[in-house]
């Protein structure tokens, strides 16, 4: 818990130095660390959420005050932080929506795990978004429901959490039957498998921003995806993991659907697409090659990142798109 609070301080210091409200927020965090114990843990957790909201509101204002960036990709890569997301997607999304604004604050996330460590949770808890989140693990969905029922910011209007195995055949019925249709602000996809085919099939919603997982081992040039299998399950015991599609494949599909690639998070495997009518001057289109050149862990990509065909033929039994 104290490590979490220290991270809040570090993020605030790195993002908001010079903001006159920062000292009050840091004093509040210090008080929380000194009073934490098992008896008042729930109160402290709610206070942490409140403090995080304050820091993020200040950061959002700061994003809007900064001059238009000539290097939008660089600023996107630098904007990340983790509050509830698995990596630094929370900061990336806060940066984007601080600049392009929101319409209805609706998010659909497919394969959200326990729905707490995911790309939607920070927006739902700290920014008042309405969420529809799916996962194929019933126990994880149950954990998420218990969390949101106890969270002070969501227990009146918790997000809708659905246990379902999402496929290209059922994704539209699943989403529309839970009241989401037409324009929404965000779609997040992380199925560890058939993401390309599910995004291609999903037509009942029209998100302004899309975040999806990329398999970076195919490199910046190959436009490939695994062939469609509705029952596909990732074999986590075989490294490197073979799943999903390449960044170039998503770029092609995105263009067909009216989206442009604007960047990735700092590790490169979560790509961000904006709809053609959203943030055109703020986030110009970038190429897969630019992303690989700017992301430190991808900069030295070589074809040898793919395992030998004889050992792992599934890496080569792909569909070119």
CATH number, position 288 = 3.40.50.150
Same domain, 13 and 37: yes
pTM, full prediction: 0.85
Whether 38 and 91 map to the same domain: the answer is no
Same domain, 174 and 273: yes
Distance (Å, whole) CA 120 – CA 105: 11
Please say which residue of 21, 41, 65 terminates a domain.
65
In this structure, the answer to whether residues 286 and 269 fall within a common structural domain is yes
Same domain, 36 and 171: no
| Residue 287, number of CB atoms within 10 A of its CB | 14
Range of the domain at 94: 71-320
If asked whether residues 43 and 76 sit together in one domain, one would say no
Angle CA(244)–CA(245)–CA(249) in degrees, nearest 5?
155
Task: State the 10-residue block means of pLDDT for the chain, 321 residues long.
Answer: 52 51 65 52 55 85 85 94 93 97 98 96 96 98 94 94 98 98 98 97 98 98 98 93 97 98 97 97 97 97 96 96 96
Q: List C-alpha distances in Å: 221 to 15, 85, 248, 301, 309.
A: 35, 28, 6, 11, 19
Adjacent-strand bridge partners of 12: none
Distance CA 74, CA 86 (A): 21
Q: In whole angstroms, give the CA distance from residue 203 to residue 171.
A: 9
The position carrying tokens 């959200």 is 112
Distances (CA, A) of 139 to 88, 113, 125: 25, 10, 21
Q: Mind listing the pLDDT tens digit for each residue in 58-117?
A: 889 889 988 887 899 999 999 999 999 999 999 999 999 999 999 999 999 999 999 999
Q: Are residues 287 and 160 in the same domain?
A: yes
């Amino acid at each position: 818990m104290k490590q979490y609070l220290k991270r809040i301080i570090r993020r605030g210091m790195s993002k908001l130095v010079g903001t006159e409200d920062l000292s009050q927020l840091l004093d509040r965090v210090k008080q929380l660390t000194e009073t934490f114990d098992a008896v008042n843990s729930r109160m402290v957790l709610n206070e942490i959420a409140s403090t995080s909201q304050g820091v993020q509101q200040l950061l959002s204002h700061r994003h809007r005050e900064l001059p238009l960036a000539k290097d939008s990709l660089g600023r996107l890569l630098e904007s990340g932080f983790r509050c509830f997301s698995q990596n630094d997607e929370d900061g990336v999304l806060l940066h984007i929506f601080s600049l392009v604004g929101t319409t209805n604050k609706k998010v659909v996330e497919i394969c959200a795990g326990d729905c707490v460590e995911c790309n939607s949770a920070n927006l739902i808890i700290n920014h008042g978004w309405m969420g529809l989140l799916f996962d194929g693990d019933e126990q994880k969905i149950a954990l998420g429901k218990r969390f949101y029922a106890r969270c002070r910011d969501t227990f009146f209007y918790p997000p809708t959490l659905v246990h379902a195995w999402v496929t290209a055949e059922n994704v539209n019925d699943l989403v529309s039957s839970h009241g989401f249709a037409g324009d929404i602000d965000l779609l997040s996809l992380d199925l560890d498998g058939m993401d390309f085919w599910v995004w291609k099939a999903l037509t009942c919603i029209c998100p302004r921003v899309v975040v999806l997982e990329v398999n970076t081992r195919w490199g910046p040039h190959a436009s490939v995806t695994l062939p469609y299998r509705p029952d596909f399950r990732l074999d986590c015991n075989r490294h490197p993991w073979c799943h999903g599609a390449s960044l170039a494949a998503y770029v092609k599909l995105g263009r067909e659907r009216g989206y442009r690639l604007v960047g990735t998070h700092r590790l490169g495997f979560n790509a961000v697409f904006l709809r053609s009518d959203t943030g055109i001057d703020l986030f110009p289109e970038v190429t897969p090659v630019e992303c690989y050149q700017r992301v430190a862990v991808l900069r030295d990509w070589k074809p040898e990142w793919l395992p030998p065909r004889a050992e792992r033929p599934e890496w080569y039994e792909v569909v070119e798109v």
